[in-house]
Structure 1
Amino acid sequence: MGKLGTKPVQILLLISFVIVFAFGSGCVQNFEKESYYSIKDMDISADRTGTAFVDLNVTTYIEKYDGDSMKNTSLLLKAYSRESGLLEAQKEVKLGVLKKGETKSVSQTLSLPKTGGYNLRSVLFEESTQKSNGEIDIHNLDSLPPDVQDVGLEISEMDFRVKGVEGGKVLVESDIYLINEEKEVSKDLRMLVKVREMDAGLLADKVWTQTGEVKPESTVIRSVNLTMPDQYNYIVEVMIWNNDTIVKNGEGYIQLSPKVKVKDRNTTETRKIQTSEFENVQETEAVPKEESPAEEPSTPGFGLPLSAILLFSAVILRRKFG
Structure 2
Amino acid sequence: MNRETTFVAAATVVVVASLVAAAVVPGALADPTDDGPLRPGPVHVEEVPIAPGAATGETATLAVEARLEHRGNPTDNVTVLFRAIDSESNLVETSRTVEVGTLTGDRETPVRANLTVAREGGYEIETIVFRDGERVADATRRVSGLEALTPAYADSNVVFAESTALQPVSVSVGSAEGDRVSLDLSGALTNEGDTPTGDLEVTFVVRQAESNVVADRVTVPVGEIRAGRTSTVDASVTVPAEYNYYVDAILWRDDVHVDSAQSVANLDPTERISANVTEQEVEFEVEDFESDDEETTAAEDGGTYGADSQTTTPGFGVAVAVVALLATALLVRRRSE
Assess same fold via TM > 0.5.
no
Which one has more relative contact order, counting CA pairs under 8 Å at least 6 apart? 1
**TM-score normalised by the chain length of structure 2:** 0.38
